[in-house]
Amino acid sequence: MQFANAQQFKWFNKPAQSSGDASQLHLTVDPNTDYWRITHYGFIRDSGPFYYQEVSGDFEASVKVSGEYKELFHQAGLMIRINNQEWIKTGIEYVDGVQNVSCVVTHDKSDWSVVPRHDSPKSIWLKLLRKGDFVQVQYSFDNEKFEMLRLAYFPPKVKVMIGMVAAAPGKQSFDVTFDDFKVTPVK
């Protein structure tokens, strides 16, 4: 199993404004950015900022996300990705004026799951477990009690990109901070 050090992080769609590293990353998410493939909307988007490392084997990734969501579909969280047709993103997605816990699973075409919220918590903690042929997504609002959001198929034994992702599909940018991003091997 291989895990990257801080010098091995890379940007896919680097935003115009960013600072920090995996321990604390702040960025302003550029407008007109998104991740989606085909379903319902008929378009393909692969343009959000993604700060990642490449990892092989089974692992758990975790991060704290705090965003200043303002516009419909502003989003931030974790992404695991093989390529533009095989990926999962999870986190907060701003819909109807509140933050929804969200997960999009893409195997050529995207699907979308949400847990509607009636509040907008300051932060969310995310855990993504990759083991064998699945990814399990969990979330928490206190970093103590975690709820499972999704268990999804994901191709096994393939090197992946894992990291912090955000998008602003509309006309407004927004600020987001990621704290304590970690990837830990699991057996």
User: What's this model's pTM, rounded to 2 decimal places?
Assistant: 0.93
The pLDDT of residue 7 is: 58
Q: What is the 3-state secondary structure (H, E, C) of the chain?
A: CCCCCHHHCEEECCCCEEEEECCEEEEEECCCCCEEECCCCCCEEECCCEEEEEECCCEEEEEEEEECCCCCCCEEEEEEEEECCEEEEEEEEEECCEEEEEEEEEECEEEEEEECCCCCCCCEEEEEEEECCEEEEEEECCCCCCEEEEEEECCCCCCEEEEEEEECCCCCCEEEEEEEEEEEECC
Tell me: domain 6-185, CATH 3.40.50.300, correct?
no
Per residue of the chain (187 residues), give pLDDT as tens: 444 455 599 999 999 999 999 999 999 999 999 999 988 888 789 999 999 999 999 999 999 999 999 999 999 999 999 999 999 999 999 998 889 999 999 999 999 999 988 888 899 999 999 999 999 999 999 999 999 999 999 999 999 999 999 999 999 999 999 999 999 999 8
